[in-house]
Structure 1
């Protein structure tokens, strides 16, 4: 067994034991993903690279579309990685709730995340079973690194009352687990 396989097996075992979940192909923690450092800071470094390319184009008045596209491609890949992470760690748990006959959730859709240098926002669309299928509910997540804390704030918008108290409590429980797996040190949940 090579080193890569051993590392992957160790990460999988740690994640299965309720540890922090890895992000992307490198298995970087969310804190490492958002924090600047020698072996970390994927998101801020990506924005730095994009700004550097744009600044050089402005300073030298020379268009370099290939460099710009290459620099833009990296944040797009990060956007996809963050979307997959949130879909895997939270939306999947909520979709499992949809299978419970006592839960009024019918489906969960993950929207495209919005990235910033040390944070990201993501919205999940929650659709309900009949007779509440017209109700639209959004679950807005914001993960932000403010040293030394990784903060997760979640706000539910829309017809919250259609969900019912027990379903909201189950969603709150899934968000707490997501926060722990993401490594959040502060979690703020407003589900109404």
Structure 2
């Protein structure tokens, strides 16, 4: 009996068409990111191995991810990671996924301070730590504090802090805006924030 063969190229074409029918903004990219995740390869691998047949286990792993994306779930939340400022952050559906627009904030700060600046940074509504940890990564003499009301987001920020070896330079506190700082004589050279402003 003839068994249908799904190559990398064919599954990407099918997925792109499927996502287009669901009116996804980036149907090709979404399919590539999901398949790269399943295969444990970078996206360039997909194009250098376009004719490679997929095994049943890979197809079985890919299918539910496509279904989740078709339901409107963010690709980054589905795969649990998001690249931002050259770093790969752990994310999930409990946090806002960092957007490329936020990189302009990081770039502005990095353009304002010298790389060896010994500054103290406060990040309000830190989420998974995207802004604060990126700044600490690129400013190796800086230290900082992230405050966040969501315990789920804060736990991810701690995971990311460990991932980037920044635990000795960062303090993460559960706080409703500035409440954890009430009565404390905390001082910062820089306060940054990209609070949630989209209801969904």
Which protein is richer in strand relative to its size? 1
Whether TM-score is above 0.5 comes out as no
Specify the structure having the higher radius of gyration (Cα): 2
TM-score, reference length from structure 2: 0.26
